[in-house]
Amino acid sequence: MSERRFVVEITHPVPAEEVAGVAALVAQRLDMDPQRIVTLLSGRVGAVTKAVLPDKAIAIADVFSAAGVQVAVLPAAPQGAQRAAGDGPGPEPTAGPTPPPAAEAPRAEQRGDADDRGAVPDDDAGY
C-alpha cells in the first residue's frame, strides 16, 4: 500500500504589496525561480504543490509559513478521484502559522477550486 499524499494550499491571499518580498524568501529557501513563486502567490488561494509525501508537504508548508503565507496541509484526493464541478465548495482547511504533523493532518478531501498551474514539481528533491 502506498503512503498517503498531501497538498499544501494557500488559505488567504498574500497582499499584492508583499508578494515580491515573500516570493524572494520562499524562492531562496526552496531554490526556485522567484518569478515562479510570484505566480503562485499573486492574488490567489489554493494548492501550491501537487500531491507529495507528508514530510515534504510539511517542509514546504513550513517555508511558506515562515515567509508569512497562511497555508494548510491537506490530504490529497485519491489518485483518479476528482471532485465534480457541481459538488459544491470543498471542506474548510485548517489554517495556521504551522501545519500539523503528517500523523495529525486534517482528514479532508482536496479542495475542488485548486488547480496545479505553476505548482511546485512533484519530485523527491529534499525540501
Please give the full DSSP string across 27-92, using - where no structure is assigned.
HHHHT--HHHHHHHHBT--EESB-SB-HHHHHHHHHHHHHTT--EEEEEPPPTT----GGG-PPPP
Q: How far apart are CA 40 and CA 31, in angstroms?
A: 15
Nearest by Cα to 63 from 32, 91, 92, 39: 32
As a whole number of angstroms, the distance between CA 8 and CA 51 comes to: 8
Q: How far apart are CA 33 and CA 28, in angstroms?
A: 8
Residue 121 lies in a domain: no
In a domain, 124, yes or no: no
SS3 8: strand
Task: Give yes or no for residue 114 having a pLDDT over 70.
Answer: no
pLDDT tens-digit profile of 45-66?
Answer: 999 999 999 999 999 999 999 9
Domain assignment present for residue 127? The answer is no
Q: How confident is the model at residue 105 (pLDDT cuts 50, 70, 90)?
A: very low
Domain count for the chain, please give it.
Answer: 1
Q: Residue 35 CB: number of other CB atoms within 10 A?
A: 11
Q: Quick one: DSSP state of residue 12?
A: S
- Which cell is 111 given? 479542495
Please check whether residue 112 lies inside any domain of the structure: no
Q: Give the structural domain span for 73.
A: 6-104
Is residue 56 in some structural domain?
yes
For residue 4, pLDDT beyond 80:
yes
By mean pLDDT, which of 9-23, 29-43, 86-100 is the weakest? 86-100
Q: Is there a domain that residue 114 lies in?
A: no
Indicate whether 125 belongs to any domain.
no
**Predicted confidence band at 119 (pLDDT cuts at 50, 70, 90)?**
low
**Looking at the domain assignment, is residue 76 inside a domain?**
yes
pTM of the model: 0.63
